Amino acid sequence: MGGKNKLLAGIFIIGCIVIIGVAATINILSKASTADDNVMYQGVQIGGVDVGGMTEEEAAEVINKHIEDMVNRPVKIIINGNTVETTFAELGFANDGNTHITEAFKAGKPESFMERIFGSVSKKDKEYNLGFTLDKEAVQKFVKEKCTIYDVSAKNSRLKYKKNGKFKATKDRTGLKLQVSETVDKIIDAIEGNLTDGSVEVEAVVKTTEPKYTREVISRCKDMIGSYSTSFSTSTAARANNVQTAAKYINGTILYPGKVFSTIKVIKDRTEENGYQSAPEYSSGKVVDGIGGGVCQVSTTLYNAVLNAELEVVERSPHSMVVGYVAVSRDAAIAGTYKDFKFKNNTDVPVYIWADASGGTLSFKIYGEETRPKNRKIEFEPEILETIQPGADVITEDKSLPSSYRTVTQSAHVGYRAKLWKVVYIDGKEKERKELNTSTYNAEPQYVTVGNQGPSQTAKPSGRPKASKEPEETDKPEATKKPQATKKPQATKKPEATKKPEVTKKPEATRKPEATEAPEVTEAPADTGPAEESDNLEG
């Protein structure tokens, strides 16, 4: 009996001891948990910053300071030896608004009594990454505005005419151009790949740009490759002024390889503001006064210089009637915006156009690189296919003038249909014959004014009026004799009827040309805007 009591007493004592121990343990754990509930557990990190043992407020202060330091870190962009400085913030780098303070504070905290006793301490070992955003548009804007200022444009060599056909080529320069897209990508990669170091340095992507025309290429323009001259010594002062004005605008033009020259654009609008005066020009079969009359002699003379230089003719039109300063098919008319003389620099080097209109002579010289062999020569041969005689005189009566009055107001023009051949000779022997153009010139009658005042009388006819100056350098048939036009009498003896003029036969070709390629069809001229004069006026 006594032994049983002792056993019970022992069990009771042990139970008390266990209860006291458990109570003490619970009390200790409770106190420890209460203390840990106010701070971050050890081992908790936010964005690489250890916040273990900190209160929630302390951790927030530390993390906010860390974010501020990150967004204000310097960035250096190196551009061809120059440095542009900025910050992460200026490039649009910012925290996404989540600092993870609340999540980190709850890390490892037990949510029940049993978790306080048996919970896993691994919950304390938590790491939270800070989230950041980077505005690519802000980076691109910065690069364009602050970094491209160090771009260096490539500089072409320029051709300068000295004197007497001598030239100087200026120095060229290699350019440097920052590649915006590649540099932006490089900056973004550097920032996103380095969120811990103090600063970021990026070498911008820069490419060199070569000048289109180097000094070496420009220096090759040194030879006169084509020239031509015509006379305007018999022109009126106004017409001479127009020839000189248009030539002045063309003089010094540099035409680079592949570029097209437009006479209408280069000589500017034919207006008084641009220096042009009223002078005779063709309009609907008549010679009338128009601003800029005479400029067609400039385009025609230039056309022949271009032919001699063997540059590519893009657009050329004949006059409506023949002109006296070049042979048929060797003229180039300009009118309004629908007739222009254009040519292309089809060589590998620039060409320089020199023009002079002084002493009654208009001259063009075209300079470039002479690549044609010395034993090769070219000639241009006009061929008249048909001669068209002018019709009977056109008579206008003027009642304010006496019956004896008779004057020719416009000479007759003989019409032609003609071709222009380019003939190539090698060592004096013909090797090639090519058709360059086909031209048609209208025939126009003589215009006569007679008086019709006082008693009716037969107007005394004047001698047969001369036709317009016939084209040069051709073996054309002579025009048939023209009838003498008379005014119809009112009460006098009827004059004998004149014979109807015969139209000359089509002349035979003096030489049958070799088969050639069809002439190149040129594109229609671009509409450069309305001309100041009537569209049918030809200079």
Kindly report the pTM of this predicted structure.
0.66
Quickly count helices (H) and strands (E) in the chain.
10, 28
Q: What are phi and psi of 296, to 5 degrees?
A: -65, -25
Whole-number Å distance between alpha carbons of 311 and 347: 8
Cβ-proximal residues to 484 (8 Å cutoff; 6+ apart), any chain: 393, 461, 464, 498
Query: Please, are residues 339 and 333 in contact by the beta-carbon 8 Å criterion?
Result: yes
Residue 384's pLDDT is 97
Per-residue pLDDT in tens (0 to 9) along the chain, 539 residues: 566 666 666 676 776 676 766 655 555 545 444 446 788 888 888 877 888 888 888 888 888 888 888 888 899 999 999 999 999 888 888 888 787 787 878 876 655 444 444 444 454 458 888 878 888 999 999 999 999 999 999 999 999 998 888 999 999 999 999 999 999 999 999 888 876 667 889 999 999 999 999 999 999 999 999 999 999 999 999 999 999 999 999 999 999 999 999 999 999 999 999 999 999 888 777 788 889 999 999 999 999 999 999 999 999 999 999 999 999 999 999 998 889 999 999 999 999 999 999 999 999 999 999 999 999 999 999 999 999 999 999 999 999 999 899 999 889 999 999 999 999 999 999 999 999 999 999 999 999 999 988 654 444 444 444 444 545 444 444 443 444 443 443 433 433 433 333 333 333 333 333 333 333 333 333 333 323 233 456 77
Query: Please, are residues 329 and 318 in contact by the beta-carbon 8 Å criterion?
Result: yes
Distances in Å between the Cα of 455 and the Cα atoms of 183, 282, 487 are 98, 37, 13
Residue 50's pLDDT is 86
Burial class (CB in 10 A: 0-12, 13-18, 19+), 521: exposed
Residue 22's pLDDT is 60
List, in sequence order, every residue forming a beta bridge with 118; answer none if it has no partner.
Answer: none
Angle between the N-to-C axes of helices 237-250 and 295-309, in degrees from 0 to 180, rounded to the nearest 10: 40
Whole-number Å distance between alpha carbons of 65 and 387: 100
Query: Please, are residues 311 and 347 in contact by the beta-carbon 8 Å criterion?
Result: yes
